[in-house]
Chains A and B, each alone.
Chain A
Amino acid sequence: MPTAWYLALRFLREGRLQTGLIVAGVSVGVAVLVFLSALITGLQASLIEQTLGTQAHIVVRPPEERVRELLESRVGRRAVVASRVEKRAQRVRSIDQWQRVDRELARTPGVTAVSPMATGAAFAVRGNADRSIALLGVDPERYAGVIPIEEHVVQGRYTLAGTDALVGTVLADDLGADLGDRVRVTTAEGRGRTFVIRGIFDLGNRDVNSRWVLVSLRNAQTLLDLTGGATNLDLTTEEIFEADEVAERIERSTGLRAESWMERNSQLLVALRAQTASSTLIRVFVMIAVAMGIASVLIVSVVQKSRQIGILRAMGASRGTMLRVFLVQGGLVGLGGALVGSVAGALLALLFGGLASGPGGEPTFPVSLEPGLFAVAVAIATVTGVLSAALPARRAARLDPAVAIRHE
């Protein structure tokens, strides 16, 4: 064992009470750090999961149709023109050559799944009941790569063959429909078709559960008068937080509109960022308090051990050795505190997470205890320990041995 480590361990053992107290202090700091991180990461992950459970990471649509102002160019400059340009209503239309765009998007770096869709508004009618719905025509296999509906089918199964349809739980209740029942879907233009309910899903969102009706892509194309067309291409990206960058790249390369989930949920992201910033601030202050605790205890230790430091220097211990003795002490106190604090923080988080649960049995306070969190906590606390020991270590190394030996 190197001399500095040997002496550091002996010094820590000699001041057992001091060592115990400072390790306890670091443990509390690290426990707060782990607990806060686990809670906030869990809450944010849960929020994002809930948001993205019903949304594609990117939705690619045809460019907006705009009205061109032609009048100004036809009249003379001196003419006074009173005009009001009516905005054009956006009709349901297909992406031009969507199959080519589909292939291009599938090759785009960062994109993991693409699903062509034909979507539009319609009505679902069963007996006397009718409801306004969002008709989603999809290729079931490809759509599963974007929204994992199969995992959320609570009755029946995930199939869209022939006239099969999937409806949300709320819509099924509203229509008084069950598995195997028939429901007629009619568009505003009067085109209609009768479907058989093969599955009922619960995506955890009341609006989605009350409006979505999934049918095959071909059926939706027919109902929406989009023969062979696709109104949008829904994408999944490898990294969810890179969706806006990927969307920008797609817009530049295809000339289509590409909207990321981050753009659609910008307020949520602002809230998440504010939450991350405030929790980071709390963590930074906790670690500053930990660092000050370690530094103050080690400075007291240097004063208390001045004579021993002087003797060691007289025996040939170099300034570097004395510097390392205190740096190692700081690091060991940080490491010890981090290990105890990580366990305490994890237990606290698990305890807190198990305190309350929602109506579906999911925890009210979801916690995320990733191995990376502990690795980061241990690394931060150990580095903080070493850094906070720098001042006392420097002081120990600079002690004049002749003066230190006479120290009372």
Chain B
Amino acid sequence: MSDAVVELAAVTKDYGRSRILHGVDLQIGPAELAALMGPSGSGKSTLLNLIGLLDRPTAGRVVILGRDTGRMAEADRTRLRGSTIGFVFQFHHLLPSLTAMENVRLPRVIEAGRVRAGMEAAALDLLTQFGLGDRGDARVSELSGGEQQRVAIARALALGPALVLADEPTGNLDTHASDRVFDLMRRINRDLGTAFLIVTHDPRIAERCDRVIELVDGRIRADRRRDTSPRPG
């Protein structure tokens, strides 16, 4: 058995009569920071949904941390998704009725089934690590775009997932904020060993990843690995 965080074997996905993914084989290892590129309509979001257990393949297997998710009941898939996968979206998708701290605390609240003491401190601790320690009480609308995306990443990491799926996390940010958000993901990837699969159109982001997967018309056309480990000296 491989030690891959995600393993896709001959995954096909049809929507009605159109085939979006054609027998995709893909493995993402632990602590890997991979970019998923491709033109619009190439099947990137569909692939992300399948890996994130938000959808089921028409054919093929999706294995998360060694567990074949094909025959899992919906409730088990929901639990596995909550505990092992974090999501970051292009438009932060934070809950506007909650503060920054409450958004970061939310995955823990959902997992525990109730709000418990101690959850607030853990969420604030995470925000502090992301340089947002003083913004815990701020409403989502009071945060800048970069801050919102950092809160969204903190939320995705609240339960210490093995994999973070990021759908164009910097697509809505300027260059400076975009670099800051990517640096943050890189740091988490190296410090915590969390695997990242980042969907991006930005070649600057892609060239800083360990691996670039190119998807065209529902097929993986290229899969390049690069050595991005920090050079000594």
Q: Interface on A for B, CB 8 Å cutoff?
A: 1-3, 6, 10-11, 13-14, 307-308, 311-319, 321, 400-402, 405-406
Contacts and interface: CB of A to CB of B under 8 A. Distances in A.
Interface stretch (B35-43, B63-71, B82-90, B177-185): B82-90
Contacts, number: 71
Interface string B103-125: 00011011111110000000000
Interface string B18-31: 00000000000000
15 contacts: A3-B110, A6-B115, A10-B95, A13-B97, A14-B97, A308-B95, A313-B78, A314-B54, A315-B155, A316-B81, A316-B83, A316-B111, A400-B54, A402-B54, A406-B45
A314 B113 contact: no
A10 B97 CA distance: 6
Contacts of B107: 315-316
Given A2-B113, A405-B93, 14 more contacts: A3-B113, A6-B114, A14-B97, A312-B95, A314-B52, A314-B54, A316-B78, A316-B107, A316-B111, A317-B78, A317-B82, A319-B74, A402-B54, A405-B54
A1 B97 contact: no
Q: For the complex, would chain B's binding face be called helix, strand, loop or mixed by DSSP majority?
A: helix
Contact of A3 (B74, B93, B115): B115
Contact of A315 (B45, B49, B106): B106
B137 interface: no
Interface of B: 45, 49, 52, 54-55, 74-75, 78-79, 81-83, 87, 89, 93, 95-98, 102, 106-107, 109-115, 155
Contacts of A313: 54, 78
Nearest to B97: A14
Given A315-B87, A316-B83, A402 B78 contact: no
B115 A1 contact: yes
Contacts of A401: 54
A308 B97 CA distance: 10
A318 B75 contact: yes
A311 B79 CA distance: 14
Nearest to B93: A311
Top 7 A-B residue pairs of the complex, sorted by shortest distance between their CB atoms: A316-B82, A14-B97, A402-B54, A402-B49, A10-B97, A1-B115, A2-B114
A402 B82 CA distance: 15
Contacts of A315: 82, 87, 106-107, 110, 155
Contacts of A2: 113-114
A321 B87 contact: no
B202 to A, nearest CB: 21
